[in-house]
Homo-oligomer: A and B are copies of this chain.
Amino acid sequence: MDWTLAQRAHKMNPSVIREILKVTERPGIISFAGGLPSPKTFPVEVFAEACAKVLRDDGRAALQYAASEGLGALREQVAEMLPWAVDPAHVLITTGSQQGLDLVGKVLIDPGSRVLVETPTYLGALQAFAPMEPSVVEVASDDEGPLLQDLHHTLGMADDPADAPQAPERRRLLQLDLDPAKDFPRFMYVLPNFQNPTGRTMSEARRAALSAETRRLGLPMVEDNPYGDLWFDTPPPAPLTARHPEGCVYLGSFSKVLAPGLRLGFLVAPPALYPKLLQAKQAADLHTPSFNQRVVAEVLKNGFLDRHVPSIRALYRAQRDAMLQALDQEMQGLGVTWNRPDGGMFLWARLPEGMNAIELLPHAVDKGVAFVPGAAFYADHADPRTLRLSFVTASTGQMHTGVAALAQAVREQLQRR
């Protein structure tokens, strides 16, 4: 039997991370690899009460087909949660925020369209966009987010070389012979808060500059914010979308503040784009499960998140602190560096020069610890020395053991050189 696949199907690949997780989710392995929220934070009893109430009060409506836009009450709750004036009519409930990426890709990406991303960036976004066959262009980024000079280079704009960062992307992009009309990017995709994979946060100064400049250029932004509520000390600066709603699509999720197994996310889009995203949503799955929407709308009543999310923040902060402390103790003298995220679930580390995280992984697994090599998160030009460490899956008790095992794997690799 001959099945002729669409061209785009050849761009789809199994998730590197899921393949790694299959190997590393053996019993006894301490996992810093997965991106799973801690199940301790799931408000199971609250869900049980909400399910019972929804089915008792209006069970038949909750189990019926529903509007593609999403449940009115939930769209209003989302609009109220967000830190700028959002019209509920601009909120679209999605089957997880991953679906928001799929819809954005369908509506905005033609084969060969240029899409700008930070470096590194969220692997799931690269996968969601891939079937639409974009030309993904990395914008060199530092600890505060994407660099404006490099943004200019990706657009084929001249810049003072003295100001330009010495990123490999820059040299590549300057060699491109760009047609500004054809090659102007469809959008730039950013994760400003506690980014997956690095845990980094875009500073207020960078946000202000990036927002002003993309607005001036007419460059649309797709802002993904699944982790923004998981801040440890102070809330992150205002979203880019709040600064220019007409020029941004904003993606949010209940996966990290309630539970991922409900697959409930949302997007906020300007009137110029909303109807097309809605049509794409309708064609994709008609609507997000109405039962799940009603249950979450019930859970959210009376400020539940205001009481619940602080407990997640406290747990994850303690986990981050335990990992940082273990790294300080165990990695001494090995030449490994790492950052100190202000929220979220991940920390980004870098091995000493000449080492490779992909090569390190099997040795680490032998020692009983797993992580995700950072190379998985680059559209191109991966830094092979990087790795992503999740601090929310392992218990604080396991943290020290896991980091010590990782340090031992690094030490042995260094000795073999």
* Chain A residues proximal to chain B, CB less than 8 Å: 1-9, 12-15, 18, 35-37, 39-40, 42, 44-45, 47-48, 51-52, 55-56, 59-66, 68, 95-96, 98-99, 102, 106-110, 113, 124, 127-128, 130-132, 184, 186, 218, 220, 246-247, 255, 259-263, 270, 272-273, 275-276, 278-280, 282-292
Q: Which residues of B contact A260 (CB under 8 A)?
A: 63-65
Task: Establish whether residues A63 and B259, one from each chain, have CB atoms under 8 Å apart when the complex forms.
Answer: yes
Shortest beta-carbon distance from A278 to chain B in Å: 8
Q: Are B47 and A48 touching (Cβ within 8 A)?
A: no
Main secondary structure of the interface of A (DSSP, over half): helix
Interface centre among A7, A13, A285, by most chain B C-beta atoms within 10 angstroms, is A285
Smallest beta-carbon distance A133→chain B, Å? 10
For A108, give the chain B residue with the smallest CB separation.
B6
State whether B59 touches A47 (Cβ < 8 A). yes
Chain B positions within 8 Å of A14 at CB level: 275, 278-279, 282
CA distance A278 to B280 in the complex (A): 20
Complex CA distance for A96 and B99, rounded to whole angstroms: 14
A36 to B66: give the CA distance in the assembly, Å: 10
Closest to A101 in B: B283
Q: In the complex the two chains form, is B42's CB within 8 Å of A59's CB? A: yes
Copies per complex? 2
Enumerate chain B residues within 8 angstroms of A61, measured Cβ to Cβ. 39
In the complex, what distance in Å separates the CA atom of A57 from the CA atom of B102? 34
- Select from chain B the residue with minimum beta-carbon distance to A264: B289
Whether the pair B280, A262 counts as a contact (CB closer than 8 A) is no
B6 and A259: CB pair below 8 A? no
| Chain B hits for A2, CB < 8 A | 218
Out of B1, B37, B42, B95, which one reaches A95, CB within 8 Å?
B95
Which residue from chain B places its CB closest to the CB of A106 in the assembled complex? B131
> Which residues of the partner chain B approach A5 to less than 8 Å between Cβ atoms?
107-108, 276
Nearest chain-B residue to A36 (Cβ)? B65
CB-nearest residue of chain B to A260: B65
Chain B hits for A36, CB < 8 A: 64-65
13 chain-A/chain-B pairs, Cβ below 8 angstroms: A12-B279, A12-B283, A14-B278, A14-B279, A18-B282, A42-B64, A65-B261, A130-B283, A131-B283, A261-B291, A262-B289, A263-B286, A284-B284
B13–A39 touching, CB < 8 Å: no
The reply to whether B6 and A106 contact each other, CB–CB distance below 8 Å, is yes
* Contacting pair A280 B63 (CB below 8 A): no
Contacts of A96 in B (CB 8 A): 285-286
Bound complex: CA A42 to CA B63 (Å): 7
Q: How far is the CA of A63 from the CA of B39 in the complex (A)?
A: 8
Which chain B residues border A99 with CB–CB below 8 Å? 284-285
- A247 vs B124: C-alpha distance when bound (angstroms): 31
> Which listed residue (B3, B56, B289) contacts A108, Cβ 8 A?
B3
Given contacts A59-B44, A64-B42, A65-B261, contact A276 B1 (CB under 8 A): no
Complexed CA–CA distance, A14 and B280 (Å): 9
CB <8 Å contact, B44 and A60: yes
* Chain B residues whose C-beta falls within 8 Å of the C-beta of A63 in the assembled complex: 39, 42, 44, 47, 259-262
A178 to chain B, nearest CB (A): 16
Given A6-B113, A276-B5, A276-B9, are A95 and B285 neighbors across the interface (CB < 8 Å)?
A: yes
Contacts of A218 in B (CB 8 A): 1-2
Contact, CB under 8 Å: A261 / B290? yes
A214 CB to closest chain B CB (Å) equals 10
A124: B residues at CB distance < 8 A = 283, 286
Residues of B within 8 A of A270 (CB): 1, 3
Judge whether B60 and A1 touch: CB under 8 Å.
Answer: no
Q: Is the CB of B276 within 8 A of A289?
A: no
- Give the residue name and chain of the B residue nearest to A255 (CB): B65
